[in-house]
Amino acid sequence: MRLLGLTDWRSGRAADLVLPQAVDSRLIDETGAMSADVDRVDASGLVLAPALVDPHVHLRDPGQTDKEDMVTGTAAAAAGGYGLILLMPNTQPAMDGQARMADGCTVIDYLESYERDHGLSLPVDYALCVAATMDRAGRQASNPNDWSGHLPGHGWAHPVVAISDDGSAVTNQTLEAVAANARAFDLPILDHCEHHEHGQVNLGTISRQLGLEGIPASTETAIINRDIEQAERTGTRVHLQHVSTTGGFEAVRRAKARGLPVTCETAPHYLALCDEDLLRCGSMAKMNPPLRSRADQQAALEAVADGTVDMIATDHAPHTLAEKALGLKDAPNGIVGLETAYAVCNRVLVKSGLISHDRMIELMSLAPAELMGMHRLLPEDLSSHKANRGCKAGHLQLEADRRSDTGQPPVDLVILDPDAKWKVDPSRFHSKARNTPFAGAELSGRVMATIKDGRLVFSRLPASRVITRERI
């Protein structure tokens, strides 16, 4: 993610953004169609911010492209205002650095060369999270010889920036070896901080009402406490994924008070929903960890407000409608979230008065970029969490054949309308998947445009606000 080249970020004055030469500088509009090259957009009255960053995304490619692929997944990310996403390793085969694909290449190589091999330019950047264990089987730590050559600094467009076995927790038998690998190569462990062998929904009144086996909160807190102990004992950087319980947030809060190298995320659905919503949404709200109690939902909101939560990630997990039609007992876990995350968070966090819009941008953009090591691409005034992140935007000039006066690369930005009201219609998603509990929800706040490398790659702006070269 590059956030350089603005003439004056905080003043609110119009900014010139450089549009570099590119193979494909057309944009995806609201319907997914492509239109002509864009020279300038009128963003007056809207909010300009760093493009969002998601540190927890499943795009199912390779292996399950009936659910999602790189083209549809990155289109969904662009529509959600994201400029950079981190791909999880539970691909098929697993992203462990071994040559497991039919053509003899690794998943890392497949994703690194995806655009070149397919002759296209994807609308968002992506980095890779390597599997913690061989084939994600939880029996033997992955071999750094298989993936350490793909770390940042080796010239890769899509480097390995983290290590994880998501969507499973790192096993007890491999944790020491995985942590040693993480320390050796200065990578954070992103741990799926939840493990259970049985159950479908949160243990409590709702599980009993539905007649389903419940999943207790201890399945999360046990992993969190184990990982915190590892961080304290060894100094390993640990990032806890999708924390969802009161006890989990309390454990993270205590670890931070002791100065341990522990960070955590939660997801929009844990802030906006609780297990009571299963009665309305059914399997569309089935996920892992499960939606917790209303008290846990409140604890998640409080953890965002007091800074315990470092960032918000979607855990975008596409499934087919046929799979979700199997019902709460048998449907797979997971929901899509890239195209609704900003609006859901804006409604439950900002419109409620819990935090400011600028703080939400920190949680959804700057903090995830820092976790991924991409903060080094930010200028100092933006990488500091005390800086003002948003400004009212004027006309943005996208110029094709020159760089900014600073000589810096072009920028990744999002144009937002925090007050726009809209209803979620999954049939209009750019993702292949429709598995969302927010179908029909009335939300407040809309991504109006996404700019990557100085190019307008997604737009909901009316035609009168978009000036193409053909119209000049």
389 burial via Cβ count (<10 Å: 0-12, 13-18, 19+) = buried
Question: Given its phi and psi angles, is residue 204 left (phi above 0), alpha (psi -120 to 50 degrees) or beta?
Answer: left
Alpha carbon distance 77, 81 (integer Å): 6
CB count, 10 Å around CB of 90?
A: 21
Q: Considering Cα of 285, then 290, then 296, then 301, what sign does the dihedral take? A: negative
Number of neighbouring beta carbons within 10 Å of residue 457: 28
Report the b/e string of 264-273 with b at 16+ CB within 10 A.
Answer: bbbbbbbbbb
Tell me if residue 315 is catalytic: yes
Q: How is residue 101 annotated by DSSP?
A: S
* Positive or negative: CA dihedral 99, 102, 108, 112: positive
Measured CA distances, 277 to 40, 294, 327, 396 (Å): 43, 10, 15, 42
Taking the chain, what is the end-to-end CA distance rounded to the nearest angstrom? 30
CA–CA gap between residue 87 and residue 63 (Å, rounded): 14
Reported residue count of the chain is 472
**What would the DSSP string read from start to end of 43-62?**
EEEEEEEEPEEEEEE---TT
Between CA 339 and CA 346 the distance in angstroms is 13
Helices (H), 80-170: 107-112, 114-118
Task: Find out whether the peptide bond into 167 is cis, omega within 30 degrees of 0.
Answer: yes
Distance CA 370, CA 127 (A): 13
- Distance, in Å, from the CA atom of 9 to the CA atom of 6, rounded to the nearest integer, reads 6
DSSP 316: B
39, 275, 315, 412: which one is catalytic?
A: 315
**DSSP H helical segments within 119-245, as ranges?**
175-184, 205-210, 218-234
Closest CA to 49 of 284, 369, 315: 369
- Which positions are catalytic? 315
